[in-house]
């Protein structure tokens, strides 16, 4: 397994917005906010395959995500903003009232498929 660090960016998507109507406790919403997108080269480098769970760890915490291959730059991971990403954030808001949610340096640890 590689010790490469990645830059994690959280986003909100139109699909995520429509699922708010279903509810944040719905299985669909939880599945969406527990997914992460990486490029194929990065997945191969750390030993991940599509659908495999991985642990993302920051200096503040860690959370489990399901890996998906997608069109993102090498060295970057994209996750939908939600409860799992909140476990990765620190409390500093730089005066904005919202913790920083983009540009975190993270470690990715592949987990065994269930």
User: One digit per residue, pLDDT tens: the chain, 114 residues?
Assistant: 446 799 998 877 766 666 666 666 778 778 878 899 999 999 999 999 999 999 999 888 999 999 999 999 999 999 988 888 878 876 665 666 665 666 778 999 999 865
Residues 5-110, CATH architecture: Beta Barrel (2.40)
How many other C-beta atoms are found inside a 10 Å radius of the C-beta of residue 114? 5
Judge if pTM exceeds 0.75: yes
The residues spanned by each domain of the chain are 5-110
State whether residue 114 is helix, strand or coil.
Answer: coil
């Amino acid at each position: 397994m590689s010790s490469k660090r990645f830059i994690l960016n959280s986003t909100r998507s139109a699909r995520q917005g429509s699922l708010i109507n279903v509810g944040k406790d719905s299985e669909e919403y939880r599945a969406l906010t527990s997914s992460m997108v990486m490029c194929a080269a990065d997945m191969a480098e750390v030993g991940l395959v599509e659908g495999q769970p991985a642990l993302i760890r920051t200096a503040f915490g860690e959370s489990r995500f399901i890996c998906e291959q997608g069109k993102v730059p090498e060295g970057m991971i994209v996750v939908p903003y939600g409860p799992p990403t909140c476990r990765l954030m620190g409390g500093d808001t730089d005066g904005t009232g919202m913790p920083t949610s983009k540009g975190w340096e993270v470690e990715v640890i592949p987990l065994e498929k269930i």
